[in-house]
Structure 1
Amino acid sequence: MATMGDVARAAGVSVSTVSHVLNGTRVVAPDTRARVEAAVAGLAYRRNGLARSLARRETRTVGVAVSALTNPYFGPLVSALNGELERRGYTVLVGDTGDEPAHEAAVVERMLDQRVAGLLLAPTAAAGGGVVPQVQAQGVPVVLVDRHTDAACDQVVPLNREPVEHLVDHLADLGHTRVAAVAGLPGLDTTAERLDGYRAVVARRGLDDDPALVLPGRSRADDAQRAVGAAFAGPGRPTAVVVLNNAMTIGTLRALRDLGLAVPDDVALVCYDDFEWADLFRPRLTAVRQDLDGMARRAVELLLGRLAGDGHAPVLERVTASLRHRESCGCGPQAPALGWPEAVQAADGGVPAAP
């Protein structure tokens, strides 16, 4: 690989002159610039961005650490974050935490070793702020996305409770009283808040308050498949189910298929998290769709603001959601659109004020 010294020798100039030509830091005579550019082309020289960044003690790389990249939800979120950062001239380093606190710590440590300028993190269910203090102790700004904790940093997360309340209310309006909930990984705020929404409607509408109706999906397709398969196999099975993330929706659909139960004829189904291909299912899935682009845009704005020296107090911002009302709830393909409260969806799909 050619070096800047090789270019200087080929052009008959000093290394500093090559640097000025490449970085535009000083006016260089046209004939000298032409010789340098010809040498760069002839030697196929590429600037070492990493070495330059390390010399300046800064990089234009941002770490993105999320759990389970195989989850249908996190792929589009990472893509949205990557797009926002690339538009601003940053390179993205992605790591899969596996939803394991110890692995999360190792992934983040490797990112810090790579001198990332900042970190966007969907945290695991770790105690004590998880890895956030570790990152902040090294002077690296961090913004949490999708999930929030008690850590003292900026956090951009979706509305969780209100959309689930609306889904369960809809099932109750359709006459269902025995409604199951497939719950995510214990210890996550998303799991707790979505279950709070489910339980609030169960209490308010007088639905069957059987603890066995809360099924341990643990945010994974295979766990959801086992839990739903066991709960719906026997007598007195639920007539409806709300699934609280899209990986578990896949497992739920597999379990119902294996049991020979049809959606929505035998079991009405609604879910939190939409799929890009959810309307390809038959029946099409009634689902809450998160504004991933809005979440990514706001998280990147906050992170770059911190990199620029913003010193305001940490903020927690909630990104609104929308409803895709389809047929899996049992309404039929010609069902009118449901009313979607303003508390759940802002008219412009924007970010409401921090609570």
Structure 2
Amino acid sequence: MAVLHDIRAAIAAVLAAENGTSSGPADYITAAHSAVDALVGRNDPAFDARSPDPGDARGALGQLNDLLDHEATPPFVPALHGVQINLLAAVASLQDALKARSLDGFQENASDALENLEIAQGRSSQYDVLGGIAGAIANTRLGVPDDARIADGCAAPHRPGFGVSHGWLAWRAVKRGHTPVATGGYASVKMENDMMILYTTAAPMVQQHCTRHADAKAAAAPALIKAAVPAATTPLYTTAQAARGKAVYAANCASCHGTNLQGVAAPAIAGSAFLKTATTNKYTVSILDTIVTQNMPFNNPASLKPGQYADVMAYLLASNCYPAGKMAFPSDPKPGFGTAIVGVQAHPAGTPDAKGVCPVK
């Protein structure tokens, strides 16, 4: 929560100067220094004691480093690494803003910093690395108080407490009429057994994991994971569409997902590791299309045209070695389209590189 507070303080400091009706150069400089102070903390050489400090002594990066130093492999660690990268980028942009010789130069760098800060702040409605610190607090045990009653997240709630499974927070149960609860960050709320049950965005994923684990245990034998998904070989896009999608991706997606689609401040979206995750989680082409069209780009969701989103989907399929055909990926898919689970192709349409990504020309 301290990390989240410091990030929001930095955002507020920059926005206050940009939105001010009488802001001058001194106000902008003070705002940038204050934002940096909130991020780096008072023991960092970049800290400016002459400017108002809206954060705390450790700063967002200091608090974040404390979390990463004391934790091994809980599910929120990848998200925290993404937060860390974006905070460092924000500090660098703010320092560049302080060196700018014009107001336009300052604002350009400050805008870059705000974009990184928004990604670092994230959303409680996303439980993966794109959720940032808000998503990690809302969907993992990172947001569970130390003295809280912990229950099995795979089981239905029987008494007040937090349902946790493998580090993921699935639900919180509160006795009805007993404890006030802020429902922000929860995907759904239900009344069960005289309790209010607040389910997180990660709850469906946790349930799938629990079901798979139970099935595997009942079988009393290790499950064999098929290396290919031959049912997903139906052509879903055209070569020309994938080429257009490559340009759209470079302009709107590469800054987070990387030019090689292996992830920078966001997860990989092509290659062997991505396809293994997609198959395990039973992502279909339709599910991926929904994620892309409704949640991306992260800093400006649903801002592209329908045709651009369709082109990006074509590029992603091509990069994952799906075969091209004569029909373009639709900008308005009809029910029943793209129901096959995403996975490694039995007959790759191209030559995958070492990461399992097929190049797109």
Structure with the larger strand share: 1
Report the TM range for the smaller structure's normalisation. Answer: under 0.3
Normalized against structure 2, the TM-score is what? 0.27
TM-score, scaled to structure 1: 0.27
Q: Kindly name which structure, 1 or 2, has the bigger radius of gyration based on alpha carbons.
A: 1
Higher RCO structure, 1 or 2 (CA under 8 Å, sep 6+): 1
Question: Which structure shows the higher helix fraction?
Answer: 2
